[in-house]
Structure 1
Amino acid sequence: MDQIVETTAGKVLGVVDEQIVSFRTIPYAAATSGMNRFLPPCPPAAWSGLRDCTSFTGHSPQAGLAPVPIPDLADFSGAPDASPETEDCLTVNIWTPAADPAARRPVMVWFHGGAFAYGNANAPRLRGTRLARRNDVVVVSVNQRLNIFGHLDLSAFGGEAFRHSGNAGTLDMIAALEWVRDNIVAFGGDPGNVTIFGESGGGGKVSTLLAMPRAAGLFHRAIIQSGAAVRLRTRERALALTECVRQHLGSSAATIDALQTVSVEQLLAAIGPAQQALGPSPTLLFDRYPFGPVVDGDLLPAHPFDPTAPDVSADIPLIIGDMKDETANFLAVDERVWHRTLTEQQMREKVASIAGTQTDRVLDLYSRLYGHLNPAERLIAITTDSNFRIRSLVLAQRRAAKNRAPVWMYSFDWETPVLGGRLKAPHAMDVPFTFNTLDLTNATGGSREAQALSDTMSSVWATFARNGTPRHASIPDWPAYDARTRATLILDKVCRIENDPRGEGRRLWQDITGTL
């Protein structure tokens, strides 16, 4: 059955899917090619007649940037989005129980992962039908500019018109939320009750929005899944990276006009060499995105959560957490880790690249805590704590210190049995749990306990979106996080509350990073 809704730019056609009205790739801004490249988003041109929004039509250019998984993991997360890459990518997808303007349902706006470099909002595992139907909410997912297209800082090269070019993709997020504010009532949503949520790079996007004065009032709750962004790019590093891009492109980057007409393929091909020429950040464990938002003193006045949490969003309730074994799938590309043949010496060499002079201290603690694990599994534990968990813990601690809106901390501990259980609870496995789309992936082997946990997680998230608190019958009473108890919800076969789980590891990495 077709469904028609009037937006500020024209009428859109959707379709009923799994008893939910679905609209795919509605433009919230104009195409970003040609003279619009690297500039802030412009409103979409109005159209007459009916715009067909029954299928996905594209996503941001990113060819060659996503990590290539080992063959065993190729279909772990399910089918990818098959739509083409295009600079006409500023679109939203919407799933609603009914396009009834009187309904005023809670709105949940998803920002996809991919380190601001790749990914999209169209993949099957992000289908919003189940989350919307089971919980009577409106689900929105956002496509935006990524990598060099969204974050090439031309402020020192292109003049006033390009002063926000390093944050063009960041401004896309604002434009999407403004579109939701202006249009979501017609889709049955409440613009006064909007939750932003995202995983990995999507969590980084949520972190960024929490620090942006221009985003104030556009959302009312936030959820960060495995993607806390404590720090972002400095203007100095952003401009240095731009110079590396220009040197790589040569005459193709001689003028702004040249950069706006150079091919998509040439720009994508410049990313790797430019990043390599720039080199790593001096604050490696906290600076995450070579091509990502820029702390410019204007759109982003300061780092999101360094040295403190931002006041602009201190009254927004927040859920934040991680997977127990975040790096298991990243490290799987090393056959020695995947097949558990990594030696103690090889583990030491890998840890030394992270811990430096603190290597012995790190190895001693993890040997004592996890002596029953082999070196590959201990490496997963060490890199999870140092590369993911420390950021979430620091963010939560600094946010709780504001003593305004509550923050709730969780840890996703359920381990998948697939592939011999070697992945444990890896990065991004929680995404289909969030959307209740486990059957559209190969992540759980059809486990009944996994489906039960998905029902719980998605319902708790939706309850938080509705009420601003995650109280739900399927979990124990979940206290807010503070530096005294550090209460944490453990999402597992049986959900439970633990105070300061894995506390020795937390204290070690907070001491090493100077964030105690």
Structure 2
Amino acid sequence: MLSIEPLGPELKSGDLKQMEPVCMTRQGAVRGRMDDAGVASFLGIPYAAPPFGPRRFRAPAPPAPWQGVREAHAHGPTAPRVPYAPPFDALIPEDLGRDGEDCLNLSVWTPEPGPNGGLPVMVWLHGGAFSNGSGSASAYDGRAFARDGVVCVTVNYRLGTDGFLSLEGAPDNRGLLDQIAALEWVRENIASFGGSPDRVTVFGESAGAMSIGVLLGTEPARGLFRRAVLQSGGAHHFLRPRSARLIAAHLAERLGVAATAEAFAALPLATLLGAQAELRAEIGRRPDPELWGDAALNAMPFEPVAPGLALPGPDCGVELLVGSNREENRLFMVPTGRMDTITDERLRLAATAYGLDPDRALAVYRAGREQASAGELLDAVATDWFYRIPALRLAEAVPGSHVYEFAWRSPQFDGELGACHASELGFVFDNLHDPTYLPMLGSHPPQALADTVHGAWVAFAETGDPGWPAYGPAGRTTMIFADESGPVDDPRPAERALWEGVR
């Protein structure tokens, strides 16, 4: 329950001696907690009003102010959603049991609670296919960044139907509007927590990175961040308006209502969430472009809506660190057993659907993987289409960008899980001890690699240089993160070249 106490003279904003420091925001004072390492956390701070009741399916509104001191000792409610289906519920970080209407909140970790710190700031946008996830998962605890001199902010935003379904009578991309509102909150308030509003880096993984890819070309987001880190996502992930309308019509038909904000707001939330999960499952079973449009290839019906690909230009004003994991698609193939069921025919159909000439493309992919099965080749092709090539297109569009590839292979599933989607997260947050990472990373992931990866992210936030040369046509330098990390010039160039003019 929300606790607000009077602000007395003994609670002075920014007093570093307190074990429960108080910082000021535009809405009121918040009290955090200082740990033994000198990191202060302020959890569950609202950055926008609850998006329910009369605000349902609307753009985010400012949060209500409060008098006195608001306790910020616990994470706030998370966006309503259906949990991941097995086996992903045990593999991907999630914060369950906290769903609630006041879900537009964020948390801050800082080593310098109080004004005039001038520290770099990193704002985390979580992944989850725009339908799952939360910024308050313990896996995303920001204290390692604060320990290393960075103010870390993690954000909850609307998901699924509430965040991304295109409905008549409602603005599109409400989840992105939430993210923009959170970044505006950071600009207005982060100086009180020791951060500099002029040194903001937004970073995200999967849907979080895909969100950033769209925000880079969104005018209201311009100037809200100086740098961006996109992990396993780029600017290619969106629904064109026709596809968005198809999906909304299918979901409305399933629910027996009109595809309007008013009709959807009248439905019980449990009914809506159940139908939403069934829709995602149906797209996976029947990936027909006539039925689902753009979503047929990636089974994500709740993506941002955009008229087409809009890569940022050299004048976007944002420095980029972008990359992907070497075997992203194994997350979706190995735990489910699909890896061993892929036939050569299914492999050829997939390559064709992705826009490749299957004869030429599969010959190139096989040349670098002589003993690979059809499933392993499909992982390589799908990883490039979904993750690697969009990252490279962003780097090519913004000169001076830095590129990485995470290649450390997890020992889980008898070593078959490999360098899969989301396997870099524990290393980025230097949080390998968190038990939610155990199913994906095993019991002994290398701390030395976490030191390297996390250190690169901190260095980029501080200086714009993560520690290796920028990517460009003259030198496509890519940092490979593995047991032995180091830069490589243009890894797998023949496979990259296949996608010219395709992706």
Q: What TM-score, normalized by structure 1, do the two folds share?
A: 0.85
8 Å CA contact 1:321, 1:392 repeated in 2: yes
- Please, which of 420, 426, 434 is the counterpart of residue 432 of structure 1? 426
Aligned amino acid, residue 248 of structure 1 = R
Change (3 A) 1:375 1:152: closer
Q: State yes or no: 1:193 paired with 2:199.
A: yes
3-state SS, counterpart of residue 438 of structure 1: coil
Alignment partner, residue 6 of structure 2: none
Change (3 A) 1:9 1:258: same
- Please, which of 259, 262, 267 is the counterpart of residue 264 of structure 2? 259
- Please, which of 261, 281, 293 is the counterpart of residue 293 of structure 2? 281
Alignment partner, residue 286 of structure 2: none
Deviations 1:42-85 (A, max 9, x none): 01111123222211232111115x34226xxx64456x424422
How far does residue 283 in structure 1 lie from its aligned partner after superposition?
A: 8.6
Aligned amino acid, residue 50 of structure 1 = V
Deviations 1:463-487 (A, max 9, x none): 111112223xxxxxx2211123211
Change (3 A) 1:104 1:254: closer
8 Å CA contact 1:57, 1:83 repeated in 2: no
Alignment partner, residue 115 of structure 1: 129
8 Å CA contact 1:233, 1:295 repeated in 2: yes
- Please, which of 136, 144, 153 is the counterpart of residue 157 of structure 2? 144
C-alpha separation in 2, matches of 1:226 and 1:408: 14
8 Å CA contact 1:56, 1:83 repeated in 2: no
Alignment partner, residue 80 of structure 2: 61
Change (3 A) 1:353 1:255: closer
Larger mean Cα displacement after TM superposition, 255-264 or 429-438:
255-264
C-alpha separation in 1, matches of 2:368 and 2:234: 25
C-alpha separation in 1, matches of 2:397 and 2:309: 13
How far does residue 103 in structure 1 lie from its aligned partner after superposition?
A: 1.1
- Please, which of 78, 82, 95 is the counterpart of residue 81 of structure 1? 95
C-alpha separation in 2, matches of 1:423 and 1:390: 21
Alignment partner, residue 332 of structure 2: 330
C-alpha separation in 1, matches of 2:261 and 2:378: 45
C-alpha separation in 1, matches of 2:48 and 2:104: 6
Change (3 A) 1:195 1:336: closer
Aligned amino acid, residue 487 of structure 2 = I
- Please, which of 320, 323, 328 is the counterpart of residue 322 of structure 2? 320
Q: State yes or no: 1:230 paired with 2:236.
A: yes
C-alpha separation in 2, matches of 1:77 and 1:282: 25
Alignment partner, residue 474 of structure 1: none
Unmatched tracts of structure 2, length 5 or more: 1-18, 284-289
Aligned amino acid, residue 33 of structure 2 = V
3-state SS, counterpart of residue 129 of structure 2: coil
How far does residue 185 in structure 1 lie from its aligned partner after superposition?
A: 0.7
Higher helix share: 1
C-alpha separation in 1, matches of 2:156 and 2:109: 15
Alignment partner, residue 421 of structure 1: 415
C-alpha separation in 2, matches of 1:422 and 1:258: 46
**% identical aligned pairs:** 35
8 Å CA contact 1:436, 1:455 repeated in 2: yes
Change (3 A) 1:217 1:282: closer
Alignment partner, residue 350 of structure 2: 353
Alignment partner, residue 294 of structure 1: 305
Alignment partner, residue 462 of structure 2: 466
3-state SS, counterpart of residue 81 of structure 2: coil
Aligned amino acid, residue 102 of structure 1 = N
3-state SS, counterpart of residue 203 of structure 2: strand
Change (3 A) 1:18 1:332: farther
Deviations 1:327-382 (A, max 9, x none): 11110244252xxx447xx1431441342573333332222210133443333223
8 Å CA contact 2:57, 2:261 repeated in 1: no
Deviations 1:187-241 (A, max 9, x none): 1110010000001111101111111111111100011001112252222222332
Alignment partner, residue 24 of structure 2: 6
8 Å CA contact 1:77, 1:125 repeated in 2: no
Alignment partner, residue 479 of structure 2: 489
3-state SS, counterpart of residue 329 of structure 1: helix
- Please, which of 50, 63, 66 is the counterpart of residue 69 of structure 2? 50
8 Å CA contact 2:246, 2:292 repeated in 1: no
Aligned amino acid, residue 48 of structure 2 = A
Larger mean Cα displacement after TM superposition, 264-273 or 217-226:
264-273
- Please, which of 22, 33, 41 is the counterpart of residue 15 of structure 1? 33
Alignment partner, residue 508 of structure 1: 498
- Please, which of 28, 38, 63 is the counterpart of residue 57 of structure 2? 38
C-alpha separation in 1, matches of 2:413 and 2:262: 50
Change (3 A) 1:9 1:377: same
Alignment partner, residue 403 of structure 1: none
C-alpha separation in 1, matches of 2:259 and 2:223: 40
8 Å CA contact 1:77, 1:429 repeated in 2: no
Deviations 1:152-210 (A, max 9, x none): 323xx32xxx3x2x121111111000100111011111001000000111110111111
C-alpha separation in 1, matches of 2:402 and 2:313: 17
8 Å CA contact 1:4, 1:12 repeated in 2: yes
3-state SS, counterpart of residue 51 of structure 1: strand
Aligned amino acid, residue 428 of structure 1 = A
Provide the aligned C-alpha RMSD in A: 2.4
C-alpha separation in 2, matches of 1:342 and 1:248: 31
- How many residues align structurally? 472
Superposition pairs for residues 93-104 of structure 1, below 5 Å?
A: 93-104=107-118
8 Å CA contact 2:242, 2:293 repeated in 1: no
Q: State yes or no: 1:498 paired with 2:488.
A: yes
- Please, which of 106, 109, 121 is the counterpart of residue 92 of structure 1? 106
8 Å CA contact 1:211, 1:303 repeated in 2: no
3-state SS, counterpart of residue 486 of structure 1: strand
Deviations 1:367-423 (A, max 9, x none): 2210133443333223222322122122222333xxxxx111111111123342211
- Please, which of 451, 458, 480 is the counterpart of residue 455 of structure 1? 451
Alignment partner, residue 269 of structure 1: 274
C-alpha separation in 2, matches of 1:167 and 1:342: 37
